[in-house]
Structure 1
Amino acid sequence: MTLEEEIELLDKAFGDLVRKSPKNPADMEEMESMRILRMNALLQQGRPLADEVLEVGIEIKSVWDFVNSDEKYPEAIPVLIKHLSRPYHRAIKEGIVRALAVKAAKGLANKAVIEEYQRLPKEDPERPWIRDFRWAFGNTMSVIVAKDDLDELIEIVTDESNGESRTGFIEALAKIKSPKVIEVLHQLENDKNQIVADRAKKILAKKTKAAERKTRKKKP
């Protein structure tokens, strides 16, 4: 059995135990044992990333150490970008993309984040974790967005098959100053996904108020 296959089996077993909800000490002990086995397998799979990060002078046990730290790690950004496209389990890949949600990654990780998002499976009611996984990519883009991302962001947010995960990308798009942005936001007000439509309306309302305040300040 490969490490990838082992992780998938542990993932399923742990998920099943969580959904059953432990009802006694024995159940809780079994779930905790499964959690530890899963965590150790993920740490093993993520070892190449940790080793390469160590080469730039930063010691981590897991990529999530970056996510949960207040310390800056600009030296690690190129390594994280390099490993984003590696065939890691989604827990590691999500940690990588969340770790890239920092200003130091702006203009560096944008292309990699968008390309990896486009490779992800579409949202599936039978697999609710996909929505949250995909959302993390949009959240990162809302932090590192640059004006050069305009066309790709428009393509993502206007593709209804991208579902609710578009909300983060909409936030990213709204940070770019372009007439196209307002046009797309108005288009999204009528999106079939109510959450997406509501997000577009909220952003447009904020932009309208900001414009009104700016106009009032200009008056003599």
Structure 2
Amino acid sequence: MPVREAPPHEQGHRGRLRTRLLNAGGDALHDYELLELYLFLAIPRKDVKPIAKALIARFGDLGGVATAPVEQLVQVEGVGEKTAAELRLIQALAERLAHEQVIGRPVISSWSALITYCRTALQHAMTEQFRVLFLDRKNRLIADEVLGKGTIDHAPVYPREIVKRALAHEASALILVHNHPSGDATPSQADIEMTRSLTEVCTPFDIVVHDHLVIARENTASFKTLGLL
């Protein structure tokens, strides 16, 4: 069946959305309206408002849509594999932009940008992921590696493997980051014990663990702030 041409009122709607974006910025638009603007490019000759609203209803918000697996995205009426792949591009772009704000910069002076980067990468992940940020002697971020992936509530982590990677990067300090897909950022006892074990393993190599961040959907917990480091 041929794709129907967008009628004039739809074209006018698209123009009005673009004008609002240009004049007032993204904050002036709802999540589904921003998604509409993106879908205009992926599906140029179709009314995409119902698709945008269905995606937000299914996945909660833009972050949920951008990180949803392709096999779940295509279950939404009107979303094919091509559109699903292009939706995943949103997350890739967001992570790249956030990464550019922190790479090579001292983490102390760009801490809020670092938190934004970590949250962008992990806030909406549906399974647990353990990342390590490697810092040089000036506390500049030199690398970010995923060293553990797992289930919804567990990602295997091996302290000696982390130290091995730190030595390979000639890192002087580390920031540990992992997510809690359950939505509760409270560190678990296993998180606490693993962090203590890693700190002990790092000590002979003069590698400092600056912090361990736990990312949840709505908030972030810091071991340092909580007095656990």
Instruction: Please give the range of the TM-score, normalised by the shorter of the 2 chains.
Output: 0.3 to 0.5
TM-score for the superposition, normalised by structure 2: 0.33
TM-score for the superposition, normalised by structure 1: 0.34
Larger helix proportion, structure 1 or 2? 1
